[in-house]
Structures are given as C-alpha cells and as structure tokens.
Amino acid sequence: MARFVDIHPVDPQPRLVAQVADVLRGGGLAALPTDACFTLAARLGDPGARRRIIEIRHLDERHHFTLMCADFAQLGHFVHLDNAVFRAVKAVTPGCYTFILPATPEVPRRVLHPKKRTVGVRMPDHRICQALLAEMGEPLLTSTLLMPGEEDPMTHGWEVKERLDHVLDVVVDGDMGGCEPTTVVDLSQGYAEVVRVGAGDPAPFT
C-alpha cells in the first residue's frame, strides 16, 4: 500500500519532503505532481526502478527515460551540452520541456536508449519537485504517468493512489500541477526536432 503525502504546493513542508526522500532512498517508487503532469520517480541509482516503471506503463526497451534535474550544474553532469544547446535549453527552463541529449558516462547504461546512448533531461518549474530534488541532492529517474492505452495522464493524487496503490510506495499530492505531458525536443543530432507537443510551447524549436 502506497503512503499518501499531501504537500503544500507553494511552501512545501520540509518534514514531508524529507519523508518522501527517505522512501526514494530506500528503493521506493513515487508518483509526483509536476508543472506538466504526474510522473513516476525513483532514485537514478536504484537498479530495480527502470523495470518497475516499464511494467507499470508497459513500455518497450527503446523508451527514453528522463532525468529530472535541479539545475544546470546537475544537468551538465549527466548530458553533453555545447554552447548552442545550452542557450536553447536555458531560454525555456525551468519549464514543461524534456530534452533528449547524448548522455555522459555518469548515466547508468540501463536507463540509456539502447542504440542512441541518449537520455531525456528536464528541470521542472514546480515547488514540490524543486524541494524534493534539493533534499535528494541528485537527479530523479522519471517517466510520465501515462497508463497503457490511455491518451491522458492522471492529474489528481487521489486517482493515482486509487489505481496504483499496489505498485507504488508513495503518492505525493499538491494542488498546483499541470494536466499535459512535457513537450519533448530531441537535440541529440545537433538540431531541434519536436518529438511530442505537450505543455511547453514548441515554437522556439520549430
């Protein structure tokens, strides 16, 4: 049974944020609200997290996982950013975008795209996510909480708890969040390709 933690969306309570971080550090899988929509989240170093997310979402091996990062210092540790890419990403972050970029050796092979050696990265504009990332001191491995065969992601904590209570360890609720997935932009080939149009305006990359 998943723990349900209701965190204030504007002023996240440090005690509750620390409780969620403890679950993640212990190998737990969380559902978090973000500026885009709910996401599944786990520690990047957790060897079982990828498989659990794949099983919940019925993903194939080519799925691009996303590292949710606190800032550019963290992001630059896990993906290669040349000056042009840095400027493009900086112009729209934090925000509702996921960028696919070549990974550095710091990213575990199990979460890379098997052929491209790329990974998704994002920096959310969301107080709860930011507080949790600060508490963790490391990126989180994430994937949009979009269930198999469904077009719309879940947007309420109670709904996530009701449907996925048996496969999650903690569900975080907060009143401020989005209802669309992020806009995904592939920058791995030296030019921008919008892979998915979502909550972020794709215009800067088209």
* Average pLDDT for the chain: 93
pLDDT (mean) for 9-27: 96
DSSP 194: E
% of the chain exceeding 90 in pLDDT: 79
User: Which of 140, 136, 119, 123 lies closest to 188, judged by CA?
Assistant: 119
What number of other Cβ atoms are within 10 A of residue 203's Cβ? Answer: 9
Report the pLDDT value the prediction gives residue 47, as an integer from 0 to 100. Answer: 86
Q: Rounded to two decimals, what is the model's pTM?
A: 0.94
In the chain the first and final C-alpha atoms are separated, in Å, by 44
pLDDT at 190 over 90: no
What distance in Å separates the CA atoms of residue 108 and residue 150, rounded to the nearest whole number? 29
What number of other Cβ atoms are within 10 A of residue 191's Cβ? Answer: 9
Report the pLDDT value the prediction gives residue 176, as an integer from 0 to 100. Answer: 65
pLDDT, tens digit, for every residue of 43-69? 998 989 889 999 999 988 778 899 999
How many degrees, rounded to 5, is the angle at CA 125 between CA 194 and CA 170?
100
Q: Are 173 and 4 in contact (CB under 8 A)?
A: yes
